[in-house]
Structures are given as structure tokens and as C-alpha cells.
Amino acid sequence: MKKTRLALTSFVISTLPLSASVYGYEVVEVKNPGTITGQVTFSGDDPAPVKFMVAKDVEVCGKTREVDFVKVNNGALTDVAVYLENVQAGKPYLQEEIQLEIQTDKTVQPAKMASIEQKKCDYGSLLSVIIQGEKLEIINTDSVAHKMHAYEMMGNTKKTMFGISQPPELNRVVTQEIALKKGVGMKMQCDQHEFMQGFMFVAKNPYYALVAEDGTFTIEEIPAGKYTMKAWHGKLKNHPQVDVSVEAWKTTVVNLDYQK
């Protein structure tokens, strides 16, 4: 289908008609909004960071690498996304989250690219976020080769999405559209360096949050109604969830706990 781009650097979802659709999500006026706030915690002993001995490219990657896959701070868990499941309509995505392109059939698709930089054999943050259908810009600024292997994570299973080789002399910047079929998150791992791992939460509506360092979060402008709230952590399993009722102009407290 031929696409027509309109002012990609300035035209954002907040300027669209209320009936606009973004990758299956409809933007409508939220007349009686409520708020959910809470905290994500971890019950049990804090798992120790994983230590890796680096077998190659030590001049860039170092001789050892320690990765704290499960970060617990006084019982609070970080690197977690919380989200409302299957919300079909509501507030727009934030301007800094997403920009758009207009197709000739008047639907709207994400056009802004999120970025992951491979620098010093590291992806940066353990957990990041991308919008369903958004393009991911994968950058290699190292002087060594990387191969990002991306998996769609579905419960306790994972399925390969793509593998991209980036030797230092070629493919410094590669783009890949991200659209999950069943899962809500993806894992990234370099096939050249096993310690290079990261996770991305793939948002299918704007009712999500990445928790703060103390595990707290807030989601605002939620249409009054009943929802299922879930948490997602790239390394942990048995993701907690709770049914929640949101009342107009009120704040509902929801706490979610991961158990070891």
C-alpha cells in the first residue's frame, strides 16, 4: 500500500481527530478519567547478579561482566513494565513517545524510530519500551562485530523475530519494525557476546508505565471501567496480575508482587 507522509517531525497524535486509529488502538476523548498508582515488589531473597567471563573482544568489552537481571531495592522491584490489558480506546500516546505517518486509507501508523545503541558491548538500560508497530533503530558504535538476536517472549517460551549482523565496517545502523503477534515483550541478545542481553516492553496502548527505582508507578487518564492490570519483567516468570475497577476522578491503588 502506498503511503503518504505528512510532517513527521511535528505532526503528533494529540492533533488527530478523536476517531483516529493507531495500530488497532483508537484515540477518543476521555470524559471521566481515573488514575491508578501503586508499587511493584519482590518477595524473597534478592538474586545475586550474574557474572560472565568475557571470551572475546576484551579490548572493548572488558575481561568480565556482571549483570544484575533482578534489581531489588528494599523490597521494591525495578525494570518492570505495568500495563492495562486489551484497552481498545482512550487517551493519545505522549508526544515524545510516538510520531505518525498517514496512509492513503486514512489510518495512522507509528513512524518515529526508537533506538538501541550497542556501546562497549552493552545495550544500556536493561528494560526499555517501544510502541507496537514502531521502527527500532539498532546502532553499533563499537569497533567489534555484534549480532542482535531478538525473540518474542510468550509466557515461558520465546520465538525468534530476527537476527541482524553488524560488523564494525558494515551495517552500523539497521532499522527493524517491531510488531509482536502474541507476547507483550521481547528479548535482545548478542550472538557474539552472551552477556549482552536486554528487554523491551512492547506497548499496544498508552496505558502502561515503567516503574521507578522504588518500584512505584502512575497511570493517568484512564476511562472509568473494569480492567486487568499486569506486570512484565524480562527475566522473571509468573507475572502478577489483578482485576481493578477505575472510578471517574478517583485514584485507585494497585500493588503487584513478584514471588521467587
Residue boundaries of the structural domains of the chain: 3-259
- Position 52 confidence tier, pLDDT thresholds 50, 70, 90: very high
The burial class, CB within 10 Å (0-12 / 13-18 / 19+), for 106 is exposed
Report, as an integer, the average pLDDT of 94-111.
46
What pLDDT, in 10s, does the model give residues 57-79?
999 999 999 999 999 999 999 99
Residue 5: its pLDDT value, please? 29
| Cell numbers standing for residue 185 | 515483550
Residue 22: its pLDDT value, please? 57
Q: How many CB atoms lie within 10 A of CB 189?
A: 20
Reply yes or no on whether the pLDDT at 257 is more than 80.
yes
Residue 97: its pLDDT value, please? 52
Residue 112: its pLDDT value, please? 53
Residue 93: its pLDDT value, please? 87
Write down the architecture of domain 3-259 according to CATH: Sandwich (2.60)
Residue 103: its pLDDT value, please? 43
Q: What contacts 256, CB < 8 A, 6 or more positions away?
A: 38, 39, 40, 41, 82, 229, 231, 240, 241, 242
- Position 85 confidence tier, pLDDT thresholds 50, 70, 90: very high
Reported for 23-26, long-range contacts at CB under 8 A and 24+ positions apart, including other chains, are 23/108, 23/109, 23/110, 23/131, 23/132, 23/133, 23/179, 23/204, 24/88, 24/132, 24/204, 25/87, 25/88, 25/89, 25/90, 25/204, 25/205, 25/206, 26/88, 26/89
- Position 98 confidence tier, pLDDT thresholds 50, 70, 90: very low
Reported for 148-152, long-range contacts at CB under 8 A and 24+ positions apart, including other chains, are 148/116, 148/118, 148/188, 148/189, 148/190, 149/188, 149/189, 149/190, 149/191, 150/176, 150/186, 150/187, 150/188, 151/186, 151/187, 151/188, 151/189, 152/180, 152/181, 152/182, 152/183, 152/186
